[in-house]
């Protein structure tokens, strides 16, 4: 036969294309997008990258449900249709399994972890065994014998997965109907029967979570800064940052920074953020919320008494990104400096105190100084005498034991300040789910009788709320005494269990509730959801961090005063009376409640000493992206996160469909890039090291 004229080839090819495309659009009907998924994303520090990512178009693999560790050779070596998309139940989400999959990653397209609705009894923590090992106090220069958790391994259950770099995308799936769809598809098409491989069509999954940043923070910041004058979407990573929230029992002039001559201040602090392996599912109920809720309740209990009978020392309540706050205090960028700090009390994890009691931790190294030791001992005595009256068990760990991971360590790195950390563990954490998705409301027994309406749940005082109220009373009384307050008022300081119950509900069950609606500004109502907020520290971007904004508004409500002034006078903050000056207080116009017969809420102005300050690591201020002193963590940017399942008809059609899909996607992406980016940004990628993945 003669050769086919070339002009015929084009239609032939087009026909092929048409087939493939129309084939996949018929299959569109059986593409099932998976809901309720959470991806593992990429983070970078000065030297490493951790987390997960997919290729630009998303990674596709044949689904294999891993039933046990013995099942691994099928996906790693013997299975006939790699790459595999491994779906595993939470009990198999272990370091041993994950590392084997990561090492065999040429045959692994990705991993989906099915998260059960109840937590594993044996515990689970993807954090390291020694949290903050390199950014805390104990180091080769402070006390080498305590460095690297030599004395106490704080988080023995930690498997370190959150700090590993994976070569494939990973998603979590809720164990619900969506997962049932995958299971059905797998059972019908992919199941290995008597060791023989199933034939096509096979059920496949696609995970898309392409990350723009690679290598380390130094690389991604250089690339982002190289494009500083072009569109902001050229940035490939953002510094992890958040807001510190603080207030004081006495107004401090926040405009005048640095040392305040006549002030000595007792700081009470708690941590605000938490993280989990998968993005967007970190609640940190015990890990951080138990501490900051206790502190909020203590601040509320003190607000009344300090107005009437102010102690000589001022107390400030902080929810801190500690390294930045200490740095600001050292560089005269904060309302007080470190020399104003008399002592510090940090509320750590306290939600499980009924299981293991309360413990007061101190730093053995700074206590070698007699003056510091004396003050620490007196603070301990104060706490213990108050606890005795409250019937709380409060113990002291061995004197030689270092501090657990805490923000206080950052203060001690700068100056030997007397202080204590209150927790519910004597040595290693009582928390069996540190920095994991299981550290949730259920772990703190926040369960409500089924017959209660949402309104009733909101005000229902659980045993957990009662317990934390006692702890908050302990903290409030001890702080009042530590600030020099008179003994006679101590007994009248009492945290309110109703307030604690509402805080627990608002911060761990759902933020959309009548109280939060009333105390935040009308324009911020969008922050409220029928779910708890996300406590992951997040990046500095166009949106405010919900968790710290809410803590700020709650703190203002609990410690502030409602004023009868107009909206203009509130937001303009122009007051003739100097004591009303905005230097000393902050003002917010909040929504208020709707009276029974009205349609509009009655908004009002709240004056308080609550303030918000940036908590971005000083490393980014100093542009020291390799800093060993400050955190250099950044989060990669991404465009698309998604997970779906579908049937693949056979390896060839699959390749064709995929090839066409990838080609079309690449072409359109390239076009988008060319149109959107400045040419210099495009070509600057030539400077990237060879291991850059795009
Ligand atoms: C970056 O993170 C990796 C993995 O956790 C760690 O080994 C390394 O020490 C960190 N580097 C810096 C500069 O913090
Ligand atoms: C750990 O502590 C022990 C006893 O204090 C000491 O002998 C040992 O050298 C320490 N190890 C490290 C790595 O510092
Ligand atoms: C899940 O499936 C069950 C039974 O098929 C059904 O009763 C239930 O409503 C479904 N749940 C959701 C959230 O779709
Ligand atoms: C995801 O949600 C969409 C819209 O609510 C629904 O049509 C679809 O069936 C859901 N997917 C799964 C796997 O449940
Ligand atoms: C607060 O400090 C600023 C700047 O030093 C000063 O101008 C202002 O008068 C002070 N306000 C009060 C009420 O002390
Ligand atoms: C500090 O206190 C002294 C005496 O109590 C007083 O004279 C002085 O004005 C105070 N200084 C400030 C800045 O308040
Ligand atoms: C505030 O304290 C006064 C007495 O000092 C007391 O009568 C009042 O009930 C307290 N208010 C609250 C809300 O605790
Ligand atoms: C939760 O309830 C269980 C069973 O009643 C109990 O053992 C556990 O101590 C409780 N935990 C908390 C934090 O109250
Ligand atoms: C929200 O962000 C704006 C700037 O975008 C800032 O002025 C404001 O203080 C932030 N509010 C809170 C509560 O974080
Ligand atoms: C705090 O919120 C409660 C409930 O909405 C309200 O009754 C109270 O007046 C508020 N306090 C302040 C200072 O805004
Ligand atoms: C607002 O402030 C101005 C100037 O201080 C004052 O004259 C006016 O009465 C204030 N209005 C209200 C409603 O407080
Ligand atoms: C609501 O309005 C009705 C009729 O105007 C009146 O009888 C009733 O007392 C009002 N209720 C309240 C709580 O103001």
Atom of ligand 5 nearest to the CA of 581: 13
| Closest C-alpha residue for ligand 7 atom 1 | 304
Ligand 10 centroid vs 557 CA: distance in angstroms? 6
Task: Please tell me what DSSP assigns to residue 388.
Answer: H
User: Buried (b) or exposed (e) across 295-307, using 16+ Cβ within 10 A?
Assistant: bbbbbbbbbebbe
User: Using CA atoms, how far apart are residues 406 and 294, in angstroms rounded to an integer?
Assistant: 16
Of the candidate ranges 256-265, 315-324, 386-395, 600-609, the one whose mean pLDDT is the lowest: 315-324
Region of poorest pLDDT, from 393-402, 455-464, 659-668: 659-668
Q: In sequence order, which residues have a C-beta less than 8 Å from that of residue 263 and are 6 or more positions away?
A: 252, 314, 336, 340
Query: Is the pLDDT reported for residue 11 higher than 50?
Result: no
**What is the pLDDT averaged over residues 671-685?**
47
Could you read off the pLDDT of 353-411 as tens digits, one per residue? 999 999 999 999 999 999 999 999 999 999 999 999 998 999 999 999 999 999 999 99
User: 545: which DSSP letter?
Assistant: P
How many A from CA of 193 to the centre of ligand 9? Answer: 59
Nearest CA to ligand 9 atom 3: 544
Q: How far is the CA of 540 from the centre of ligand 9 (A)?
A: 11
Q: What is the pLDDT of residue 10?
A: 30
State if residue 35 touches ligand 7 by the CB under 6 angstroms criterion.
no
Lowest-confidence range among 219-233, 335-349, 373-387? 219-233
405 within 8 A of 136, measured Cβ to Cβ: yes
**255 CA to middle of ligand 5, Å?**
6
Residue 683's pLDDT is what? 36
pLDDT reported for residue 348: 95
The string of pLDDT tens digits covering residues 531-589 is: 998 888 777 654 668 888 999 999 999 999 999 989 988 888 766 666 677 888 899 99
Q: Which atom of ligand 9 is nearest to the CA of 524?
A: 13
* Mean pLDDT of all residues belonging to the chain: 85
**Closest residue CA from atom 14 of ligand 5:** 253
Ligand nearest to the CA of 45: 1
Any ligand 9 atom below 6 A from CB of 243 = yes
What integer pLDDT is reported at residue 298 of this predicted model?
A: 96
Cα dist. 182→33, 94, 172 in Å? 11, 22, 13
What is the distance in A from the centroid of ligand 2 to the CA of 358?
Answer: 28
Residue listed under structure tokens 């519910």: 424
Could you tell me which residue, 653 or 373, shows the higher pLDDT? 373
Which is higher by pLDDT, 602 or 581? 602
Rounded to a whole number of angstroms, the distance between the first and last alpha carbons of the chain is 46
Query: Which ligand gives the minimal distance to the CA of 549?
Result: 9
- Expressed in angstroms and rounded, the spacing between residue 240 Cα and the centre of ligand 9 is 16
243 contacts 552 by C-beta, under 8 angstroms = yes
CA 568–ligand 8 middle distance (angstroms): 49
Q: Which residues contact 153 (CB under 8 A, 6 or more apart)?
A: 129, 130, 428
The DSSP output letter for 440 is: S
- Gap from CA of 538 to ligand 3 centroid (Å): 33
Q: How far is ligand 8, taken at its centre, from the CA of residue 442, in Å?
A: 10
10 Å CB burial of residue 65 (0-12, 13-18, 19+) is middle
Closest residue to atom 2 of ligand 7, CA basis: 304
Measured CA to CA, the distance from residue 498 to residue 504 in angstroms comes to 10
- Collect all residues with Cβ–Cβ distance below 8 Å to 358 and sequence separation of at least 6: 350, 387, 392, 393, 394, 395, 422, 423, 424, 471, 474
Of 205, 123, 135, residue with least CA distance to 163: 135
Kindly report, residue by residue over 202-218, the tens digit of the pLDDT: 899 999 999 998 899 99
Nearest ligand, CA of residue 577? Answer: 11
The set of protein residues with a Cβ atom below 6 angstroms from ligand 12 is 596-597
* Ligand 9 atom nearest to CA at 549: 13
Range 630-653 average pLDDT: 83
Q: Which ligand is in closest contact with the Cα of 134? A: 1
- Band of the pLDDT at 6, cuts 50, 70, 90? very low
pTM, full prediction: 0.87
Measured in angstroms, how far is the CA atom of residue 34 from the centroid of ligand 7?
A: 53
pLDDT digits (tens, 9 = 90+) for 269-290: 999 888 899 988 889 999 999 9
CA nearest to 568, candidates 595, 548, 587, 593: 587
Q: 308 CB under 6 A from ligand 7? A: yes
Mean per-residue pLDDT, 460-479: 96
In this predicted structure, what is the pLDDT of residue 615? 84
Indicate whether residue 578 lines ligand 7 (CB < 6 A): no
Q: Is residue 340 classed as helix, strand or coil in its secondary structure?
A: helix
CA–CA dist 474, 494 (Å, integer): 9
Q: Does the pLDDT value for residue 674 go beyond 60?
A: no
Which pair of structure tokens corresponds to residue 281? 């599912």
Least confident of 239-243, 461-465, 542-546, 678-682: 678-682
Spacing, Cα 601 to ligand 7 middle (Å): 27
Residue pointed to by tokens 């030791």: 373
Name the residue of 597, 599, 602 whose CB sits within 8 Å of the most ligand 12 atoms, as the mutation to test its pocket.
597
pLDDT band at 671 (very low <50, low <70, confident <90, very high): low
Closest ligand 5 atom to the C-alpha of 578? 13
Closest ligand 4 atom to Cα of 34: 13
Look at residues 397, 407, 384, 400 and name the one whose alpha carbon lies nearest to residue 428: 397
CA nearest ligand 2 atom 6, residue: 145
**Token pair listed for 124:** 């689970």
Residue 240: CA count within 13 A, CB half-sphere: 21
Give Cα separations from 460 to 454, 496, 513 (angstroms).
10, 13, 13
Torsion of CA 278, 279, 284, 288, to 10 degrees: 130
- Residue 266, judged by CB atoms within 10 A of its CB (0-12, 13-18, 19+), counts as buried
pLDDT higher than threshold 50 for residue 8: no
* Closest ligand to residue 301's CA: 7
Which atom of ligand 1 lies nearest, measured to the CA of 50?
4
- Any ligand 2 atom below 6 A from CB of 400: no
- Extended strands (E) in 379-502: 394-395, 419-423
Ligand 7 atom closest to Cα of residue 301: 14
**What does the pLDDT average to over 253-265?**
90
Residue 78 per-residue DSSP state: I
In 3-state terms, the chain is what percent helix, strand and coil (to 5)?
40, 20, 40
pLDDT tens, position by position, 445-456: 999 999 999 889
Q: Alpha carbon of 146 to those of 152, 400, 631: distances in Å?
A: 8, 9, 21
Structure tokens at 200: 């096509």
Q: Which atom of ligand 6 is nearest to the CA of 261?
A: 13
User: DSSP 3-state assignment of 600?
Assistant: coil
Give the pLDDT confidence score for residue 538 in this predicted structure: 73
**Does residue 261's CB lie within 6 angstroms of at least one atom of ligand 6?**
yes
pLDDT of residue 9: 33
What pLDDT was estimated at residue 672? 58
Query: For residue 463, what are the contacts with CB-CB under 8 A and spacing of at least 6?
Result: 354, 445
Q: In this predicted structure, what is the pLDDT of residue 628? A: 85
Q: Which residues contact 78 (CB under 8 A, 6 or more apart)?
A: none
pLDDT tens digits along 113-152: 999 988 999 999 999 999 988 888 999 899 899 999 999 9
Residue nearest to atom 2 of ligand 5 (CA): 256
What is the C-alpha radius of gyration for the chain, rounded to an integer number of angstroms?
28
Residue 545: what pLDDT?
80
User: Residue 233: what pLDDT?
Assistant: 53
Whole-number percent of the chain with pLDDT over 90:
60
Cα angle value 265/266/270 (rounded, 5°): 130
CB-ligand 8 contact for 444 (6 Å cutoff): yes
């Amino acid at each position: 036969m003669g050769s086919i004229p070339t002009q015929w080839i084009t239609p032939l090819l087009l026909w092929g294309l048409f087939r493939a495309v129309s084939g996949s659009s018929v299959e569109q009907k059986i593409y099932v997008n998976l809901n309720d998924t959470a991806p593992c994303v990429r983070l970078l520090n000065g030297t490493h990258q951790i987390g997960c990512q997919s290729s630009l178009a998303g990674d596709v693999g044949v689904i294999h449900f891993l039933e046990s560790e013995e099942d691994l050779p099928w996906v790693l070596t013997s299975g006939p249709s790699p790459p595999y998309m491994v779906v595993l139940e939470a009990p198999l989400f272990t370091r041993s399994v994950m590392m084997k999959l990561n090492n065999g990653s040429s045959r692994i397209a990705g991993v989906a972890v099915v998260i059960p609705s109840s937590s594993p009894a044996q515990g689970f923590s993807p954090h390291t065994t020694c949290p903050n090992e390199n950014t805390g106090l104990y180091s080769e220069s402070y006390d080498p014998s305590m460095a690297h958790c030599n004395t106490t391994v704080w988080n023995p259950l930690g498997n370190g997965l959150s700090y590993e770099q994976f070569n494939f995308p990973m998603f979590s799936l809720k164990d619900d109907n969506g997962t049932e769809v995958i299971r059905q598809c797998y059972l019908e098409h992919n199941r290995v029967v008597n060791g023989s491989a199933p034939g096509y069509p096979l059920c496949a999954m696609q995970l898309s979570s392409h990350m723009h940043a690679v290598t380390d923070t130094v690389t991604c910041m250089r690339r982002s800064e190289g494009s500083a004058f072009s569109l902001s979407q050229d940035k490939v990573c953002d510094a992890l940052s958040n807001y510190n929230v603080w207030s004081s029992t006495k107004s401090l002039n926040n405009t005048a920074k640095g040392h305040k001559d006549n002030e000595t201040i007792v700081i009470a602090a708690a941590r605000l953020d938490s993280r989990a392996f998968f993005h967007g599912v970190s609640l940190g109920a015990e890990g951080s919320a138990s501490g900051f809720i206790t502190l909020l309740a203590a601040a509320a209990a003190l607000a009344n008494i300090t107005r009437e009978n102010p102690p000589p020392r001022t107390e400030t309540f902080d929810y801190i990104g500690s390294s930045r706050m200490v740095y600001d205090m050292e560089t005269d960028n904060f309302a007080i400096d470190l020399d104003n700090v008399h002592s510090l009390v940090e509320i750590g994890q306290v939600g499980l105190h009924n299981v293991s009691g309360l413990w007061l931790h101190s730093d053995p190294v700074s206590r070698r100084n007699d003056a510091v030791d004396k003050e620490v001992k007196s603070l301990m005595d104060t706490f213990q005498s108050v606890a005795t009256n409250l019937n709380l068990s409060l113990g002291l760990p061995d004197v030689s034991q270092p501090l657990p991971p805490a923000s206080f360590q950052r203060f001690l790195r700068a100056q030997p300040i007397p202080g204590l950390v209150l927790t519910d563990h004597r040595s290693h954490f009582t928390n069996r789910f540190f920095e994991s998705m299981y550290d949730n409301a259920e772990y703190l027994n926040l369960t409500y009788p089924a017959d209660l309406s949402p309104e009733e749940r909101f005000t229902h005082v659980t045993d957990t709320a009662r317990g934390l109220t006692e702890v908050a009373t302990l903290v409030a009384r001890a702080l009042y005494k530590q600030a020099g307050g008179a003994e006679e008022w101590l007994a009248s300081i009492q945290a309110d269990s109703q307030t604690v119950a509402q805080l627990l509900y608002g911060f761990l069950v759902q933020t959309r509730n009548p109280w939060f609606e009333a105390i935040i500004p009308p324009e911020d109502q969008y922050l409220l959801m029928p779910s708890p907020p996300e406590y992951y520290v997040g990046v500095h971007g166009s949106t405010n961090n919900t968790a710290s904004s809410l803590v700020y508004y709650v703190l203002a409500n609990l410690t502030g005063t409602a004023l009868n002034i107009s909206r203009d006078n509130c937001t303009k903050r122009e007051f003739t009376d100097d004591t009303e000056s905005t230097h000393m207080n902050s003002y917010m116009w909040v929504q208020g409640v709707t009276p029974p017969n009205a349609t509009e809420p009655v908004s009002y102005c709240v004056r308080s000493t609550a303030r918000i300050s940036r908590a971005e690591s000083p490393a980014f201020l100093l542009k020291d992206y390799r800093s060993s002193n400050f955190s250099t963590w950044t989060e990669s940017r991404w465009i698309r996160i998604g997970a779906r399942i579908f049937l693949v008809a056979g390896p060839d059609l699959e390749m064709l469909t995929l090839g066409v899909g990838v080609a079309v996607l690449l072409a359109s992406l390239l076009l988008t890039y060319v149109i959107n980016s400045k040419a210099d940004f495009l070509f600057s990628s030539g400077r990237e090291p060879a291991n850059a993945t795009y």
